[in-house]
Amino acid sequence: MTGIELRSLRKTYSGNDVLHGLDLTVTPGEFLVLLGPSGCGKSTLMRMIAGLEAVTTGDILIDGRRVNDIEPRARGCAMVFQNYALYPHMSVSQNIGYALKVAGVPKAERQARISAVAGSLALTDFLDRKPSQLSGGQRQRVAMGRAMIRSPRVFLYDEPLSNLDAKLRVAMRLEIRRLHQKLGTTTVFVTHDQVEAMTLADRIVVMNAGRIEQVGTPSEVYQHPQSTFVAEFIGAPGMGLVDAIADPKRGVLCLGDGQEVRFDAARWPDLPHGAVRLGLRAEEIGITAHPSAHTVMARVELIENIGPHRHAHLSLSGCNLIAQVPNDFALQSGAQVAIGFDMAALQLFDPATGRRHAGQNVPLAERIAATV
C-alpha cells in the first residue's frame, strides 16, 4: 500500500499563488477527498500529484520517494477525468487496454486482463462499442476500467461524477466506494459536492483559496468545523452563523438586537470578552410555541419543504439561520417564533480570524456531574 506526502507544496501561475504551501499526508489505503468550492486549488493539487502540473516549490513524495521531476507514467497513479477523456476513436476494449498496449504487454494477457476488468464493471457486452455509443454511466465505468487495469498504486478521481444525473451519481458513488473496499488502493478524490465527500471519504480535506481549512473524518468536519468557512460549506444546509458579544463573566452571549443567550461558559474557560460568532446546525435549533428564559425570538422568513421535514429560514438579530421543523408543526412565514438551541452542540468562532474557539470537548452532562 502506498502513502503520499506533500511538503509545503506551492503552485504559482504567472506570479499568482494558487496553492500556498500545503502540508498533507495521505495514509496508505486511505480514501481521501479534497473538497472545496471551484477555484480553491483542489484540482490543481491533484494534477500535481498526478504529474500533469509542475510543482513550483515544495515536494511530493509517493511511497517516500520524491516524484517532483518524475513523468506521470512513472508515478504509478491512475486518474479518472471529469469528462472521462475516453479516446473517441478506440473501442471500449482498446480504451481499457491502451495502458497495457503502451507498456508492451502481450496481446493474450492484455485480452485476459481487459475481460476481467470489463466483467467486474459490467462492460462485457460493450467491449466493441465506441465511446460515442455509450451512455454517461457506461462511459464513466470505462474510465474507471482504464484506471483499474493498470493496478495502480494510487487512484486519482477528478470530479468524476459531476457529469452524471442525480440518480446515476448516487449509484456510481456506491460503486466507487465498493471498488475501494475491494481493492484497498490509496485514493484521492476531488469534488465540490460535500454530500459526495461525506459519503465517500475516510478523511476530508476542506480547501479554500489555495489553503487547507481542515483535515478530518466526515463526522469531525461536520460536528467540529475548525473555521466559519468549513461550518458554512459542510452540511446541507450549512451551519447557521449569528454574531454576538460574549460576556463570559455573566455567562451570556449578547445578540445585536439586545436579546441574550445563556451559554455554558465553563466549556470555554479562556473565552475573552468580545465579539464571537455562534454556529448552529439546522437540526440543533428547535422552534417552540412557549417562549422562556432559554429561548430567543426570531422571525420566520421562508419555509422550504424538503420531504422528511421542513427548513424554516429564520432571521435572528439580522443574521440568517435555518431550523429543521417537523412537517406537522404549524408555522407561518412572517411569524415571530421562540427558538431554543442544543447548547451542547453550540460552536463559537472568532469573527476576526474565522477560527473556532476550541474549548473543552467534554459533554455537558459529564461536566455537570463533575461539579455536583
Partner 1 sequence: MNKRATFSNSWLAAALLLPQLLLVFIFFYWPSGEALWWSFTLERPFGGGNEWVGFYNYLSVLQDSRYWGSVRVSVIFAIAASALSILLALMLAVFVDRRMRGHQILKTGFFLPYALAAPAVGLAFRFIFAPDAGLIAGINRVFPGLWNPALDGNDALTLIILAQAWSLVGYNFIFFLAGLQSIPRALLEAGAMDGAGPLRRVWDLQLPLLAPTLFFLLVINITDSFVNSFGIVDIVTSGGPARATELMVYKVYTDGFQGKDSSLAATQSVILMVLIMALTFVQFRFIERKVHYN
User: CA 222, CA 283: separation in Å to the nearest integer?
Assistant: 12
73 binds partner 1 (CB under 8 A): yes
Q: Which is nearer to partner 1, 143 or 253 (CB)?
A: 143
Q: Tell me the CA distances in angstroms from 125 to 98, 114, 119, 160, 207, one per residue in order.
A: 19, 12, 9, 23, 41
3-state SS assignment for residue 345: helix
Is 45 a binder of partner 1 (CB under 8 A)? no
Stretch in the footprint of partner 1 (CB under 8 A) among 60-68, 77-85, 108-116, 213-221: 77-85
Contact between 114 and partner 1 (CB under 8 A)? Answer: no
Residue 60 lies near partner 1 (rule: CB under 8 A): no
Q: Which of 146, 153, 277, 313 forms a contact with partner 1 (CB under 8 A)?
A: 146
Among 89, 178, 273, 299, binds partner 1 (CB under 8 A): 89
Chain centroid, CA 42 distance in Å: 11
d(CA 62, CA 64) in angstroms, rounded, equals 5
CA gap 232, 226 in Å, rounded: 11
Query: Does residue 71 touch partner 1 according to CB under 8 A?
Result: yes
107 binds partner 1 (CB under 8 A): no
Cα(150)–Cα(113) distance, rounded to whole angstroms? 9
Q: Does 134 bind partner 1 (CB under 8 A)?
A: no
Tell me if 70 contacts partner 1 by CB under 8 A.
no
CB of 73 to partner 1, least distance (A): 4
* Among 29, 72, 291, 351, contact with partner 1 (rule: CB under 8 A): 72
CB 18 within 8 Å of CB 12 = yes
Instruction: Give 101-169 as a DSSP string.
Output: HHTT--HHHHHHHHHHHHHHTT-GGGTTS-GGGS-HHHHHHHHHHHHHTT--SEEEEESTTTTS-HHHH
Cβ distance to partner 1 smaller for residue 146 or 169 = 146
State the number of binding residues for partner 1 (CB under 8 A).
Answer: 26
Considering beta carbons, is residue 147 or 197 the nearer one to partner 1?
147
Cα separation of the two ends of the chain: 51
Cα R_g (the chain), whole angstroms = 25
Whether the bond into 308 is cis, omega within 30 of 0: no
Given 61, 70, 85, 338, the residue binding partner 1 (CB under 8 A):
85
Confirm or reject binding of residue 50 to partner 1 (CB under 8 A): yes
Q: Is 13 in the site for partner 1 (CB under 8 A)?
A: no
Q: Which residues bind partner 1 (CB under 8 A)?
A: 50-52, 71-73, 77-79, 81-83, 85-89, 98-99, 102-103, 130-132, 146, 150
